[in-house]
């Protein structure tokens, strides 16, 4: 009896320690985001105060100034938001169509040079975007697609396709081949077997890949800052540069725009968190 009670107490102690460690880690991770939100509501004098003020006063001046209030010209937030949505959604949709097709092909078919192609895609994904910015700028300038939605969409599709191929390949490998074989025996074509049998099983995994691709395009700065010039094509991350001057930086306005950037990502993650969690754990439990 004593051994059983001791075992339970030890188990409860380890569980409490586990949750405490998770809470501390998440607190450290969330502190920068919380600090940005607080600074967006602080007067500039409090943002620059040393030592920092932990109980800030509340003001909406940075948001009013950003939208054209407080006697300032404002920042074209709605145009930046529209550009980001168009570029992110379009590039994600195209990358998912190509990536899902490629991932399924790698998972289901055998062809010459399969491993070499797959490794080549992964190596391309390992190259940082900053290293690609200058070559892409030169090529896009010669083609004439600098400062266009099409140019940035093309760059993001090329950047996201290797990741989506790798991710969807892993999801489709977890689906037994017997499922589509049974569907074909029942009279389905190969295409029907994919959409009616295999895709519904891997839907959560595909959704998680789409979320990661969208967030990558939404938050990307290095390529967007090099390939865009005008308000008609700049995205929200590049719009943060509007708050920098030669000798000063408007930290409050920058934090306010950063908060507006975070909101769509949080809403999207909240709406699809069920699919995201299911996708991340897909194939992790075997019956």
Angle between helices 129-143 and 149-173 (to 10 degrees): 130
Query: What fold, for 77-280?
Result: MetI-like fold (1.10.3720)
Asked whether residue 134 carries a pLDDT value surpassing 60, the answer given is: yes
Q: Which token pair is 28?
A: 């450290």
> pLDDT of 67-115, one tens digit each?
775 444 567 888 999 999 999 999 999 999 999 888 888 888 888 888 8
Percent of the chain at pLDDT exceeding 90: 16
Any bridge partners for residue 244, and if so which?
249
Let me know: does 89 contact 280? Beta carbons within 8 Å. no
Cα–Cα dist 155/146, whole Å: 11
Question: What integer is the mean pLDDT of 162-176?
Answer: 85
- What φ, ψ does residue 73 adopt, rounded to 5°? -70, -20
Look at residue 93 in the predicted model and tell me its pLDDT.
94
Confidence category of residue 283, pLDDT binned at 50, 70, 90: very low
Let me know: does 199 contact 44? Beta carbons within 8 Å. no
Asked whether residue 267 carries a pLDDT value surpassing 60, the answer given is: yes
Question: What integer is the mean pLDDT of 12-25?
Answer: 84
Cα–Cα dist 209/206, whole Å: 5
Separation in Å, CA 227 to CA 14, 135, 151:
51, 11, 8
> pLDDT of 171-223, one tens digit each?
888 888 777 778 778 777 777 788 888 888 888 778 888 888 998 999 998 88
Cα–Cα dist 62/131, whole Å: 34
- Predicted model pTM: 0.81
The DSSP string of 188-233 is --HHHHIIIIIHHHHHHHHHHHHHHHHHHHHH--HHHHHH--STTT
Asked whether residue 153 carries a pLDDT value surpassing 90, the answer given is: yes
Look at residue 91 in the predicted model and tell me its pLDDT.
94
Q: Is the model more confident about 153 or about 9?
A: 153
Question: What integer is the mean pLDDT of 140-144?
Answer: 91
- What φ, ψ does residue 244 adopt, rounded to 5°? -110, 140
> In which residue ranges of the chain is CATH 1.10.3720.10 found?
77-280
Question: What integer is the mean pLDDT of 231-246?
Answer: 86
Lowest-confidence segment of 90-94, 113-117, 127-131, 248-252 by average pLDDT = 127-131
Look at residue 286 in the predicted model and tell me its pLDDT.
40
Return the residue matching tokens 């940075």: 62
Look at residue 282 in the predicted model and tell me its pLDDT.
52
């Amino acid at each position: 009896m004593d051994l059983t009670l001791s075992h339970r107490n030890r188990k409860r102690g380890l569980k409490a320690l586990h949750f405490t460690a998770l809470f501390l880690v998440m607190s450290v991770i969330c502190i920068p985001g919380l600090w940005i939100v607080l600074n967006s509501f602080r007067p500039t004098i409090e943002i620059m105060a040393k030592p920092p003020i932990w109980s800030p006063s509340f003001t909406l001046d940075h948001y009013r100034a950003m939208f054209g209030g407080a006697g300032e010209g404002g920042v074209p937030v709605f145009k930046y938001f529209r550009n980001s949505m168009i570029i992110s959604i379009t590039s994600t949709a195209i990358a998912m169509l190509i990536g899902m097709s490629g991932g399924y092909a790698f998972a289901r078919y055998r062809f010459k040079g399969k491993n070499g192609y797959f490794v080549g895609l992964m190596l391309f994904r390992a190259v940082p975007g900053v290293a690609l910015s200058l070559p892409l700028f030169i090529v896009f300038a010669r083609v004439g697609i600098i400062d266009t939605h099409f140019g940035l969409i093309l760059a993001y599709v090329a950047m996201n396709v290797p990741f989506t191929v790798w991710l969807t390949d892993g999801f489709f490998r977890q689906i037994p081949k017997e499922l589509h074989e049974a569907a074909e025996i029942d009279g389905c074509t190969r295409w029907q077997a994919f959409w009616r049998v295999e895709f519904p099983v891997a839907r959560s995994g595909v959704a998680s890949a789409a979320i990661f691709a969208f967030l990558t395009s939404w938050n990307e700065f290095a390529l967007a800052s090099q390939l865009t010039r005008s308000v008609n094509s700049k995205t929200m991350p590049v719009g943060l540069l509007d708050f920098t001057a030669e000798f000063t930086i408007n930290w409050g306005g920058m934090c306010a725009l950063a908060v507006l950037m975070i909101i769509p990502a949080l809403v999207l993650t909240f709406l699809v968190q069920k699919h995201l969690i299911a996708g991340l754990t897909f194939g992790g439990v075997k019956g």
